[in-house]
Amino acid sequence: MAQKNNDEQFKNVISHAKEYGFVFQSSEIYDGLSAVYDYGQLGAELKNNIKYYWWKAMVQMHENIVGIDSAIFMHPKVWKASGHVDGFNDPMIDNKDSNKRYRADQLLENKIDELYSELANFSAENKAKFEEFQQEILGLSNEGQASWIPSFKDEDGILDNAKYPFVDEASWRFVKKGLALEVEMNLALKSENLAQLKDLIVGYKVICPISKTSNWTDVRQFNLMFSTQFGAMAEGSDEVYLRPETAQGIFVNFLNVQKSGRMKIPFGIAQIGKAFRNEVIARQFIMRMREFEQMEMQFFVRPGEDKKWFEYWKDARLKWHKALGTSPEKYRYHDHVKLAHYANAATDIEFEFPFGFKEVEGIHSRTDFDLTQHQEFSGKKMQYFDNDLNEEGKPYGNYVPYVIETSIGLDRMFLLTMINAFEEQDLSTADKQDSRTLLRLHPALAPYKVAVFPLTKKDGLPEKAREIMDTLKFDFNCIYEEKDAIGKRYRRQDAIGTPFCLTIDHQSLEDNTVTIRHRDSMEQERVAIADLGDIIGKAVSWKTLLA
């Protein structure tokens, strides 16, 4: 039932986003382009506000972080050096009966989730014990993990371990199988053993959700980068890529920024920009797109201080999310056990979407991998001279800095914001059925801050309303509406998240006061026009989020 409600809620958010001009399918009149979306008139405003919140918090509130805007096209060698040409692949498998393509690891992850669903039958104490045990196993070396597989796969063998005596025996059989598969999948992914991935899909009887058969092709690697020809002449042109992440534009400019900005370590470079990935399975609206936007920051630190800064950014980034007023239980960290080749620590900030907890942001400790690779491939030094003194009183000297990255998907943050704000309120009373749809956006993020309504279209009220709007519009994005009854106008603003509505009536002409109506409480009060700037200004100020 809860799942059904969640699906319904998600569907409602998607249709609301379209109905009110937040998000449209790209090229809709041609039936759309899969996993590509356009932001409409209100979507563009909300997106800009989210960007601004991030830029303000990350760049302008940190003296040691600066922002850049690098090009989408980069020299093809950049992607050789970064590992994307050879390694930015997903292992894909096709079902021969439905002709549908899947990510092999996602098929297996779904199977693991199915087996782990038996954890619901564990006592809370045993569940916690299991999770500890699981972390312990996944933290072992490859050999250590592999050595456990036979006992997990032995259906009848109940784990004989004094530290973890699981007593929920029937369910433990399934959970144990899930753990075996998780370990086997991780090992196959780490060693890029595609044949083994296929064996697991077949061995664990994974079936295609469409054809319901297990008639699978072999697993193949599929590179996610889009490429295109650079230069006018087909023969003389080079293949270039549309960047799959914005981070590399920061790495290749590391010395330009450091020198021109006289930056001292630790310091950060941030940017917001488009990224492109030829996702094979694109779904869940703007959650996984082929063209999307990232907000990334690379923080350059002294080697050996990476762990400390990783913890700092993990904490700082979650605070940024929570400042928006989201209930804290909607967020969690997911520490990576299986690390990318360049990372020595990684965590995701996950949000509970209607379809489950999913990554919104990644925080990665990328070591000196990227700068060292660019140093090697370009032949240019990527070093920093640190003249601070170490414990022995000597300068730290030359080194390639270590990097902590924070990387958040702007579109996922947009979706999160919409889902979080969307509310259908029942306002029925004993004698009247009533409801309203509300976007409870933080006022600083709301597309319009204030709606200005003359009570009627005559008696000089529109002129007075325009006069008020003309003074407010320098500081706040305003919208003017004179059509329909006031109640209807309020509801329309509730649906797009406008925190304040002002009604100008005949009394306004006499005493220069208006009615201000608050979106969330629906309360109305009479205030002086001269005070409006202060009242609205306080509520929508970035200080409410950043202080």
Q: In sequence order, what are the residues at sequence separation of 6 or more whose Cβ sits closer than 8 angstroms to the Cβ of residue 55?
A: 67, 270, 272, 295
Choosing from 311, 359, 481, 482, the residue that interacts with ligand ATP (CB under 6 A) is: 359
Distance, C-alpha 525 to centroid of its chain: 38
Q: Judged by CB under 6 A, does residue 82 bind ligand ATP?
A: no
Q: Which stretch binds ligand ATP (CB under 6 A): 81-89, 264-272, 359-367, 454-462?
A: 359-367
Identity of the residue, 118 or 245, whose beta carbon is nearer to ligand ATP in the bound complex: 245
Identity of the residue, 318 or 450, whose beta carbon is nearer to ligand ATP in the bound complex: 318
**In the complex, minimum distance from the CB of residue 49 to ligand ATP, in angstroms, rounded to a whole number:** 18
**DSSP 3-state of 353:** strand
CA atoms of 402 and 368, how far apart (whole Å):
5
**In the complex, minimum distance from the CB of residue 134 to ligand ATP, in angstroms, rounded to a whole number:** 20
Q: How many CB atoms sit inside 10 A of residue 184's CB?
A: 23
CA atoms of 286 and 35, how far apart (whole Å):
7
Q: Which stretch binds ligand ATP (CB under 6 A): 212-220, 331-339, 356-364, 514-522?
A: 356-364
Identity of the residue, 118 or 411, whose beta carbon is nearer to ligand ATP in the bound complex: 411
The interface mask with ligand ATP, positions 476-495, x = CB under 6 A, is --------------------
Closest by alpha carbon to 57, among 332, 308, 327, 413? 413
**In the complex, minimum distance from the CB of residue 45 to ligand ATP, in angstroms, rounded to a whole number:** 20
The interface mask with ligand ATP, positions 292-311, x = CB under 6 A, is x-x-----------------
Closest by alpha carbon to 405, among 206, 270, 262? 270
Identity of the residue, 283 or 506, whose beta carbon is nearer to ligand ATP in the bound complex: 283
What is the Cα gyration radius of the chain?
A: 27
**In the complex, minimum distance from the CB of residue 411 to ligand ATP, in angstroms, rounded to a whole number:** 5
Q: Which stretch binds ligand ATP (CB under 6 A): 10-18, 51-59, 257-265, 404-412?
A: 404-412
CA atoms of 446 and 439, how far apart (whole Å):
9
| CB 350 within 8 Å of CB 333 | yes
Distance, C-alpha 466 to centroid of its chain: 39
**In the complex, minimum distance from the CB of residue 463 to ligand ATP, in angstroms, rounded to a whole number:** 46
**In the complex, minimum distance from the CB of residue 148 to ligand ATP, in angstroms, rounded to a whole number:** 26
Distances (CA, A) of 184 to 109, 194, 268: 11, 12, 38
Distance, C-alpha 444 to centroid of its chain: 19
**In the complex, minimum distance from the CB of residue 415 to ligand ATP, in angstroms, rounded to a whole number:** 9
**In the complex, minimum distance from the CB of residue 272 to ligand ATP, in angstroms, rounded to a whole number:** 12
Q: Judged by CB under 6 A, does residue 362 bind ligand ATP?
A: yes
CA atoms of 545 and 53, how far apart (whole Å):
8
Return the H-helix or E-strand segment holding 273.
strand 267-276
Closest by alpha carbon to 275, among 336, 343, 362, 337? 362
CA atoms of 74 and 172, how far apart (whole Å):
51
Site for ligand ATP in 200-239 (CB under 6 A): none
- What stretches of 31-168 show up as alpha helix (H) in DSSP? 41-55, 76-81, 84-87, 104-116, 124-138, 142-153
Q: Token digits for 89?
A: 């692949």
Q: How many CB atoms sit inside 10 A of residue 292's CB?
A: 20
The interface mask with ligand ATP, positions 255-294, x = CB under 6 A, is ----------------------x-x--------xx--x-x
Identity of the residue, 360 or 469, whose beta carbon is nearer to ligand ATP in the bound complex: 360
**In the complex, minimum distance from the CB of residue 138 to ligand ATP, in angstroms, rounded to a whole number:** 17
How many residues lie near ligand ATP (CB under 6 A)? 16
Choosing from 81, 360, 382, 472, the residue that interacts with ligand ATP (CB under 6 A) is: 360
Identity of the residue, 326 or 477, whose beta carbon is nearer to ligand ATP in the bound complex: 326
Q: Judged by CB under 6 A, does residue 347 bind ligand ATP?
A: no
| CB 54 within 8 Å of CB 408 | yes
Q: Judged by CB under 6 A, does residue 198 bind ligand ATP?
A: no
**In the complex, minimum distance from the CB of residue 275 to ligand ATP, in angstroms, rounded to a whole number:** 7
**Burial environment of residue 408 by CB neighbours within 10 A (0 to 12, 13 to 18, 19 or more):** buried
Q: Judged by CB under 6 A, does residue 498 bind ligand ATP?
A: no
Identity of the residue, 294 or 515, whose beta carbon is nearer to ligand ATP in the bound complex: 294
Q: Which stretch binds ligand ATP (CB under 6 A): 12-20, 99-107, 401-409, 535-543?
A: 401-409
The interface mask with ligand ATP, positions 405-444, x = CB under 6 A, is --xxx-xx--------------------------------
Choosing from 361, 370, 494, 505, the residue that interacts with ligand ATP (CB under 6 A) is: 361
**DSSP 3-state of 264:** coil
Closest-by-Cβ residue to ligand ATP is 409
Q: In sequence order, what are the residues at sequence separation of 6 or more whose Cβ sits closer than 8 angstroms to the Cβ of residue 292?
A: 274, 275, 276, 277, 286, 409, 410, 411
**In the complex, minimum distance from the CB of residue 215 to ligand ATP, in angstroms, rounded to a whole number:** 27
Binding region for ligand ATP (CB under 6 A) = 245, 277, 279, 288-289, 292, 294, 359-362, 407-409, 411-412
